[in-house]
């Protein structure tokens, strides 16, 4: 078992895989392909988001930093880069069609975007609003060691809130709100005492690590294919962002299945990649996921048609587009983070802001 504050390879695996699922999902959007049919009633790209929420829960549960300071450190980079991207897109869309793409700014205002039943102009920036709510929820309301009643209450809220919103045709709101992600956040929170495992002894006594991991991966693959077989008979439609069924209890059933699919795949990914060292390519993608996440949809919008026109085979065009987006933005992100002194700006703001807060506290205590 690694020490609490040490580097964790499973985080890099889950971030890199999560980001890859998201990019593939936005390039290969069809519900008919195997990639999406194994995860109904959600789209497989949503599992990538679940991985990021799980990691957030795991990290927040283990932090030893004062909560207000930790919240600032978590929110500053995503709001800074989200704001820069919103300004960039406003400039580009104004030049092209005299439109400022104002909806891209909604996530920056305390995540107000999640209450509207549509995505921002740059669709994936909805996550910024939800992440703001997640960090604020943890800071203000989340106990360090949540009791069983608290956990059950949050799970109940997840299932009922999602079902009610879907029933009243507010599926986008149901998807973006923090309540949609409570279960995977709590899973990460409850796994806080688990970390990378590098020993040669597997979790099952006498079973070598390679045999354990290979068996787990095969069982997982079999479960995914079996679920595809079942989901085809459940006749999910092609709705977004959740695929629905024709049934009087459809909303409730779909809500329950969404949570099960999120939890099962996230838990299995965590269980598998705790044992594997992350190679250089995985680490490279992992440390650049923030900018890849924010910028990949604008890039897809910009180059998708040209890439499709360059290839006779549509599948080949999509594969090239995935590689172009994923590795092109990794390189761009590396360059941007090296050129922009964002970390230094954050440190300076943090120093002034929290020194002022501490001064006020001392004055209040003395008064």
- What residues contact 367, with CB distance under 8 A and at least 6 apart? none
Rounded to an integer, what distance in angstroms lies between the CA atom of residue 366 and that of residue 364?
5
Mean pLDDT within 299-308:
93
Mean pLDDT within 290-303:
95
pLDDT at 2: 39
E strand or H helix at 160, and its extent? helix 148-167
Longest dimension (CA), the chain: 76
E strand or H helix at 309, and its extent? helix 289-309
Per-residue pLDDT band at 236 (split at 50, 70, 90):
confident
Per-residue pLDDT band at 326 (split at 50, 70, 90):
very high
Q: Is residue 208 classed as helix, strand or coil in its secondary structure?
A: strand
Nearest Cα neighbor of 56 from 116, 139, 174, 114 is 139
- What residues contact 21, with CB distance under 8 A and at least 6 apart? 44, 45, 47, 48, 51
Of 4 and 96, more confident: 96
* Statement: residue 48 has pLDDT above 50: yes
pLDDT at 206: 65
* Statement: residue 3 has pLDDT above 60: no
CA distance between the termini of the chain: 48
CA-to-CA dists, residue 87 to 105, 139, 171, angstroms = 9, 29, 28
pLDDT at 248: 60
Which phi and psi (to 5°) does residue 301 adopt? -55, -40
| Listed range (62-71, 83-92, 176-185, 247-256) with the worst mean pLDDT | 247-256
Rounded to an integer, what distance in angstroms lies between the CA atom of residue 264 and that of residue 271?
11
pLDDT at 5: 46
* Statement: residue 145 has pLDDT above 70: yes
* Statement: residue 165 has pLDDT above 70: yes
**pTM, entire model:** 0.93
* Statement: residue 71 has pLDDT above 90: yes
pLDDT at 354: 83
Mean pLDDT within 335-354:
90
| Listed range (230-234, 314-318, 327-331) with the worst mean pLDDT | 230-234
Mean pLDDT within 268-293:
94
* Average pLDDT score, the chain: 90
Mean pLDDT within 230-251:
84
Per-residue pLDDT band at 202 (split at 50, 70, 90):
low
pLDDT at 290: 96
Mean pLDDT within 231-247:
86
pLDDT at 34: 83
pLDDT digits (tens, 9 = 90+) for 97-129: 888 999 999 999 999 999 999 999 999 999 999
| Listed range (45-59, 154-168, 210-224) with the worst mean pLDDT | 210-224
Q: Are 128 and 78 in contact (CB under 8 A)?
A: yes
Mean pLDDT within 131-150:
95
* Statement: residue 1 has pLDDT above 60: no
| Listed range (84-88, 256-260, 279-283, 357-361) with the worst mean pLDDT | 357-361
Rounded to an integer, what distance in angstroms lies between the CA atom of residue 51 and that of residue 184?
8
Rounded to an integer, what distance in angstroms lies between the CA atom of residue 179 and that of residue 137?
11
Per-residue pLDDT band at 295 (split at 50, 70, 90):
very high
């Amino acid at each position: 078992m690694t020490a609490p504050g040490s580097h964790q390879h499973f985080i890099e695996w889950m971030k890199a895989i999560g980001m890859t699922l998201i990019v593939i999902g936005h390039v290969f959007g069809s519900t008919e392909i195997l990639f999406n049919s194994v995860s109904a009633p959600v789209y497989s790209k949503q599992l990538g988001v679940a991985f990021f929420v799980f990691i957030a829960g795991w990290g927040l549960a283990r932090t030893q930093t004062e909560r207000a300071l930790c919240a600032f450190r978590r929110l500053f980079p995503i709001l800074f880069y989200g704001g820069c991207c919103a300004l960039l897109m406003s400039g580009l869309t104004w030049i092209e069609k005299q439109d400022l793409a104002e909806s891209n700014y909604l996530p920056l205002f305390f995540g107000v975007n999640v209450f509207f039943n549509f995505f921002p102009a740059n669709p994936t920036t909805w996550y910024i609003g939800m992440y703001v709510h997640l960090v604020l929820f943890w800071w203000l309301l989340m106990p360090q060691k949540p009791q069983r009643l608290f956990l059950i209450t949050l799970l109940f809220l997840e299932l009922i809130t999602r079902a009610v919103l879907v029933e009243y045709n507010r599926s986008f709101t149901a998807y973006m709100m923090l309540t949609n992600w409570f279960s995977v956040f709590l899973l990460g929170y409850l796994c806080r005492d688990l970390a990378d495992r590098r020993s040669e002894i597997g979790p099952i006594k006498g079973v070598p690590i390679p045999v354990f991991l290979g068996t787990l991966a095969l069982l997982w693959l079999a479960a995914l294919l079996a679920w595809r077989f079942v989901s085809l008979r459940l006749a999910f439609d092609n709705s977004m962002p959740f695929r629905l069924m024709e049934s009087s209890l459809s909303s409730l059933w779909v809500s329950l299945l969404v949570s099960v699919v999120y939890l099962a795949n996230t838990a299995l990914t965590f269980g598998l990649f705790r044992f594997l060292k992350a190679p250089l390519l995985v680490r490279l993608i992992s440390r650049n996921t923030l900018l890849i996440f924010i910028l990949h949809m604008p890039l897809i919008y910009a180059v998708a048609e040209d890439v499709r026109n360059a290839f006779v085979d549509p599948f080949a065009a999509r594969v090239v587009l995935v590689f172009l987006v994923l590795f092109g933005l990794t390189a761009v992100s590396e360059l941007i983070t090296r050129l922009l002194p964002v970390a230094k700006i954050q440190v300076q703001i943090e120093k002034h802001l929290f020194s002022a807060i501490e001064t006020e506290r001392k004055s209040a205590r003395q008064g």
